[in-house]
Structure 1
Amino acid sequence: MTAQPALDRASPPPRDALSVLNHVFGLPDFRGAQEKIIRHVSEGGNCLVLMPTGGGKSLCYQLPSLLRDGCGIVVSPLIALMRDQVAGLTEAGVNAAVLNSTLSYEEASEVERRLLAGDLDLLYVAPERLLTPRCLNLIGQAQIALFAIDEAHCVSQWGHDFRPEYIGLSVLAERFPDVPRIALTATADAMTRKEIAERLKLTDAPHFVASFDRPNIRYEIVDKQNAVTQLKNLIKERHAGDAGVVYCLSRAKVEDVAASLTEAGIPALPYHAGLDASVRARHQDRFINEDGVVIVATIAFGMGIDKPDVRFVAHLDLPKSVEAYYQETGRAGRDGKPSTAWMAYGLSDIVQQRRMIDESNGSDAFKRVSIGKLDALVALAETVHCRRQRLLGYFGETQADESCGNCDNCLTPPRVRDGKVLAQKLLSCVYRTGQRFGAMHLIDVLVGRLTERVKQFNHDQLSVFGIGRELNEKQWRAVLRQLVAMGHLRAASDAFGALKLTDSARGVLKGETQVMLREQPEGARNRAIRDKSRRGELAPASNGKGAAANPALHAALRAWRSDIARQRGVPAYVVLHDSTIDGIAAVRPASLNELRNIAGIGDKKLEHYGDELIALVNRTEG
């Protein structure tokens, strides 16, 4: 972690902050840089915070809002996150509210009245609403503790989720120069960080950059064969009964995949912008509130979803960038338990994404940056080294260990061989066929398959016809992908997905450039992933059925939590997190004092639920 605030590292943590952390949120201590950030903002400082999903970003502005006079204004584009966070804060006894398009006129007026009356600790506002003259004037009349700009990467045109309305947030520095501002994001490379700081006028503010590592997530990228069948096998073999998110590029594919999973006995729901709003809301609510539901969605889904027990995130299509991949896979394992980030990937994904970039309305500069980001993601997919090291390196972070022990390449190291001759054969085939054809035709020529198209273009008369019979089609596809990842081939954006040579291909053809290729054995299946890592035995992924010290009590606690959540109209994890249930089941508290010592049980939750929980523990057999 790097941090540049001019703070006394040896000074003790503020007693009031630690007290609020414990009594309101039920947490015994700060994590990572939370203490430094909270002190800095509480004392009136501005800052930029980069912290991974599940790392505790929310506390970095929630707690200073409680410590400072006035109301903390949280800017967020995510209605679902606003709702869940306000529900969680309310459960903890914090006066919190939202001001967004879901409120009626009367409800919005009541929130505004409470703000002006000093009756709110935190107010969540959408950026487009905040920037209206009426809302800015309203805030100008209230006492404001701080401004927290969540999902700050949305301000960057180079980011993966650019939102134009975020650019206008620079007005906060101009209109409220004495109010501290904290910008937060889970995903930003160096270029995006720089733009965030410039656009939000935080260039002189310290940056708190936590590690991007999510050690509980196992990263796996497999060769795409029959992606839906591969996904079904993953779920049935390792994630039966688990909540998961499956990302697809198109709405039609979302519908097809959800239907296929449902037919296979896996409870799956589609989610995309083409569905009626009420259907989307119903599917999202089921995913959040029920155990073991799999949501199949386009990339529009999940922003602001705070569900902690998503055990797997699967990509059936290639995302646009490493940032997007990191953001989407980060929705797995927010509770810190073992989880899986799985992706099926093939050459067609590269061609499709490249075509989308070339056909977009973006500027040439935007297209160049987008192609660079796509190339970085392809390199991650094709690397034979530790995926976690590659992923962290993209964000400028290095680790001492060469192996993370919890990605597919580390758990089952791929075999690598000298691929110079294979590369020369393939590149020669691309050149001699005129750089006009896609993978299928090139492989037909290489293996000597006399198709109608091969005969049509007389490619059976070429010297490269049949020179690649030592590999099968699947193996040649792997070679193709790797040469694209290495930059010796590029996928053109035309309708046929033609592959073309790059400048670096010349060195390969002349024998001057080394080419090491991952082996793809004939008839190879996806490599089995062991349940051990270099760090030791991995705990089995929770299936929502209670892998706790006391299964009977664990099941009873989950059932009780579900009932309370339904009664209160909030997600189950807002009532109690899984980690809190695990703690109760393990400790079996016999008194309110013992219950109060379990992480996640603050004063209000002890007051609301303490007697019920102790009674439940006492009547459940051990």
Structure 2
Amino acid sequence: MFGYPEFRSPQLEIINALSRGDDALVIMPTGGGKSLCYQIPALLRQGCAIVVSPLIALMQDQVEALQQLGVRAAFLNSSLDLSTARSIEQDWLDNRLDLLYVAPERLLQPRMLALLEQVTPALFAIDEAHCVSQWGHDFREDYLQLSELHQRFPDVPRIALTATADARTRQEIAERLKLSEAQHFLVSFDRPNICYRIALKDNPRAQLLRFLRDEHMQDAGIVYCLSRKRVNETASWLADQGFKALPYHAGLPAETRADNQRRFLREDGVIIVATIAFGMGIDKPDVRFVAHLDLPKTVEAYYQETGRAGRDGQAADAWLVYGLQDVITLRQMLEQSQGSDSYKREEQHRLNAMLGLCEITTCRRQALLAYFDELRDKPCGNCDSCLSPVATWNGTEAAQMAMSAVYRTEQRFGVNHLIDVLRGTENDKVFQNDHHHLPTFGVGKALDARQWRSVYRQLVARGYLSVDVARFGALYLQESARAVLRGEVEILLRQDPKTSSAKRTTKNALPEHIDVGLWEALRECRRQLAEDQGIPPYIIFHDRTLQLICEQRPQNVDEFAAISGVGDRKRDKYAEAFLAVVKGNERS
């Protein structure tokens, strides 16, 4: 039915466990094949499987893909009118559905629970399960009530799935969903096809434009920004530069958001500029890049967001620019939040870990995987640190000067003023505070302002200095600074490049042996078929399947059916159209 010759590890183990009635908690990276782990048991077990899904767009995407395969699938959510919803409910009661997708808030309504009592579900699948964790990055309060499923239906197997969860979040998911006794499947977090690249902000727009024009001119991608205003401005600016860029954030009308997401899913080469409100569960396989113009709040959020690139396994980029101001902004947001002191401390640790990932001079992938307790022996060879190793310099003396300036100005000033003091800049603020009389005034002329900014940023990242957001970004010393000031610790600092990180050595172009004419003809055939049905092109076939058609050039239905990604239903539905394209583009 699904058209694949074999399972990925550990899909078969999970499918077998769920099919025999056991519970499971699955942590599997984006693009790893989580959906099959509950879709196949749903077909094998008696009754209709209930899939808890947090987003309308995600439900629609999954259901359209299943219907293409001949699976009897439907969804119930607020996008349906009353008569359509009632018709779907009747199909469910009459055993005419294999899978039914519902939002968590709808599932626990009295009407829905009453229907569940009438028709015993085949299983419950809780997708995007990290939403249950209050320490997670996409917390949804409705998910907290899902433990009720175990109490009401103790004999119905449950599977919870997510792509991103550190040890603490995994524990919370298991506890809140009553899955501590379930079999846990933890798959490698590594996405080897993604190239991780992190650079300092210089001129963010110019850096982004260079990245897009040099490497992703015709590609679909996502650009994340911290604020709605920045999203709107960036989308408009990219459109002016000739890109098909659309904004997405919670402040836009629902109709606009839905239309922009639909275009992103169904058209080629669309760039979505978004806040973190966009992306959870996005199934578009050919997203070639995810760019961040602002620092993500946590490593977990960064991994989840970058994981939306390259779901098809082809080369993709995770590109980020950041600066010290990002840290100050995020800490201000954290201080102004309504969370408890323990929550703020935990989030502060997570922000520090994200900043640490940006500042390391070693392999990014090794550090990223280590955050999720996965150790990798060798550098990956596919991140900027591996492709363009970072030089370091002995910054012990510079660090002592920088910290001394902080101490002697009474820990009340931000980076710009501290740099003015160190470089001996004679301005009103320096004179008004009598800082031109300090021993540190002018001792740092050997470094320019950009270099001093790098020193301060790295000292904050390593925990020697902290930012006082209540004092407009004033820096103050941490206890660990004493050892540096006493000369007991040597500080090696990264030497920031004067330009953005080097380009990847591998391009996203088609393999050389692919016939470009046939490739484009197949894509056009797919586009027309998708447009006729009102579905995204990738639901018909992923790019990888089109590449295999190019390589194998099937001449009949049996050869077409043997290609990975072509199941029985799609063979019957599409073989004639695609075989005609192949025959019409025979090499002379």
Q: Normalization by structure 1: what TM-score?
A: 0.93
Once the two structures are superposed, the pairs formed by residues 220-369 of structure 1 within 5 Å of their partners are 220-369=197-346
- CA-to-partner distance for each residue in 1:537-589, whole Å, 9 max, x for gaps? x4x2148xx97611111101110111111110111100111111111111110
Match of 2:553 in 1: 588
1:615 is paired with a residue whose SS is helix
Q: Output the CA distance in 1 between the equivalents of 2:33 and 2:526.
A: 23
Question: Does the 8 Å CA contact 1:74/1:122 hold for their aligned counterparts?
Answer: yes
Query: Are 2:482 and 1:517 aligned?
Result: no
Query: Are 2:375 and 1:408 aligned?
Result: no
1:58 is paired with a residue whose SS is helix
Question: Does the 8 Å CA contact 1:548/1:554 hold for their aligned counterparts?
Answer: no
Query: Are 2:525 and 1:560 aligned?
Result: yes
Q: Output the CA distance in 2 between the equivalents of 1:187 and 1:593.
A: 39
1:32 is paired with a residue whose SS is coil
Query: Are 2:417 and 1:444 aligned?
Result: no
1:494 is paired with a residue whose SS is helix
Q: Output the CA distance in 1 between the equivalents of 2:80 and 2:242.
A: 38
- CA-to-partner distance for each residue in 1:53-82, whole Å, 9 max, x for gaps? 000001111111111111111001011111
Question: What letter is aligned with 1:583?
Answer: L
Question: Does the 8 Å CA contact 1:75/1:148 hold for their aligned counterparts?
Answer: yes
1:314 is paired with a residue whose SS is strand
Q: Output the CA distance in 2 between the equivalents of 1:254 and 1:407.
A: 27
Question: What letter is aligned with 2:496?
Answer: Q
Q: Output the CA distance in 1 between the equivalents of 2:226 and 2:58.
A: 23
- CA-to-partner distance for each residue in 1:229-260, whole Å, 9 max, x for gaps? 10000000111111110000111111111111
Query: Are 2:131 and 1:154 aligned?
Result: yes
Note the residue ranges of structure 1 that are not aligned, 5 or more in a row: 1-23, 532-537
Question: Does the 8 Å CA contact 1:242/1:542 hold for their aligned counterparts?
Answer: no
Question: What letter is aligned with 1:488?
Answer: Y
Question: What letter is aligned with 2:500?
Answer: N
Q: Output the CA distance in 2 between the equivalents of 1:594 and 1:498.
A: 68
Match of 1:8 in 2: none
Match of 2:96 in 1: 119
Match of 2:40 among 46, 59, 63: 63
Match of 1:551 among 516, 540, 556: 516
Q: Output the CA distance in 2 between the equivalents of 1:154 and 1:61.
A: 18
Once the two structures are superposed, the pairs formed by residues 159-198 of structure 1 within 5 Å of their partners are 159-198=136-175
- Per the TM alignment, residue 527 of structure 1 is displaced from its structure 2 partner at its CA by 3.1
Q: Output the CA distance in 1 between the equivalents of 2:6 and 2:531.
A: 31
Query: Are 2:508 and 1:541 aligned?
Result: yes
- Per the TM alignment, residue 616 of structure 1 is displaced from its structure 2 partner at its CA by 1.5
Q: Output the CA distance in 2 between the equivalents of 1:442 and 1:267.
A: 43
Q: Output the CA distance in 2 between the equivalents of 1:300 and 1:530.
A: 29
Q: Output the CA distance in 2 between the equivalents of 1:78 and 1:281.
A: 11
Question: Does the 8 Å CA contact 1:118/1:143 hold for their aligned counterparts?
Answer: no
Q: Output the CA distance in 2 between the equivalents of 1:499 and 1:173.
A: 50
Q: Output the CA distance in 2 between the equivalents of 1:273 and 1:219.
A: 28
Match of 1:480 among 456, 477, 482: 456
Match of 1:469 in 2: 445
Query: Are 2:179 and 1:202 aligned?
Result: yes
- Per the TM alignment, residue 621 of structure 1 is displaced from its structure 2 partner at its CA by 3.5
Question: Does the 8 Å CA contact 1:590/1:614 hold for their aligned counterparts?
Answer: yes
Q: Output the CA distance in 2 between the equivalents of 1:541 and 1:487.
A: 38
- Per the TM alignment, residue 48 of structure 1 is displaced from its structure 2 partner at its CA by 0.5
- CA-to-partner distance for each residue in 1:361-399, whole Å, 9 max, x for gaps? 101111111101101101001111111011000000001
- Per the TM alignment, residue 467 of structure 1 is displaced from its structure 2 partner at its CA by 1.1
- Per the TM alignment, residue 284 of structure 1 is displaced from its structure 2 partner at its CA by 1.2
Question: Does the 8 Å CA contact 2:197/2:501 hold for their aligned counterparts?
Answer: no
Question: Does the 8 Å CA contact 1:188/1:323 hold for their aligned counterparts?
Answer: yes
Question: Does the 8 Å CA contact 1:311/1:542 hold for their aligned counterparts?
Answer: no
Q: Output the CA distance in 1 between the equivalents of 2:446 and 2:62.
A: 58
Query: Are 2:481 and 1:505 aligned?
Result: yes
- Per the TM alignment, residue 600 of structure 1 is displaced from its structure 2 partner at its CA by 0.8
- CA-to-partner distance for each residue in 1:513-534, whole Å, 9 max, x for gaps? 221100136xx11232340xxx
Match of 2:374 in 1: 397
Match of 2:351 in 1: 374
- CA-to-partner distance for each residue in 1:194-243, whole Å, 9 max, x for gaps? 00000000111121000000000000110011111100000001111111
2:59 is paired with a residue whose SS is helix
Query: RMSD of aligned C-alpha atoms?
Result: 1.2
Q: Normalization by structure 2: what TM-score?
A: 0.98
Match of 1:18 in 2: none
Question: What letter is aligned with 1:415?
Answer: A
Query: Are 2:493 and 1:526 aligned?
Result: no
Question: Does the 8 Å CA contact 1:412/1:529 hold for their aligned counterparts?
Answer: no
Note the residue ranges of structure 2 that are not aligned, 5 or more in a row: none
Q: Output the CA distance in 2 between the equivalents of 1:398 and 1:152.
A: 24
| Identical columns (%) | 55
Q: Output the CA distance in 2 between the equivalents of 1:465 and 1:206.
A: 63
- Per the TM alignment, residue 494 of structure 1 is displaced from its structure 2 partner at its CA by 2.0
Question: Does the 8 Å CA contact 2:394/2:491 hold for their aligned counterparts?
Answer: yes
Query: Are 2:404 and 1:428 aligned?
Result: yes
- CA-to-partner distance for each residue in 1:92-137, whole Å, 9 max, x for gaps? 0100000111111111101111111111110100000001111011
Question: Does the 8 Å CA contact 1:217/1:339 hold for their aligned counterparts?
Answer: yes
- Per the TM alignment, residue 290 of structure 1 is displaced from its structure 2 partner at its CA by 1.0
- Per the TM alignment, residue 466 of structure 1 is displaced from its structure 2 partner at its CA by 1.2
Query: Are 2:30 and 1:31 aligned?
Result: no
Q: Output the CA distance in 2 between the equivalents of 1:242 and 1:144.
A: 41
Q: Output the CA distance in 2 between the equivalents of 1:443 and 1:283.
A: 44
Query: Are 2:384 and 1:419 aligned?
Result: no
The count of corresponding residues between Structure 1 and Structure 2 is 587
Q: Output the CA distance in 2 between the equivalents of 1:576 and 1:142.
A: 34
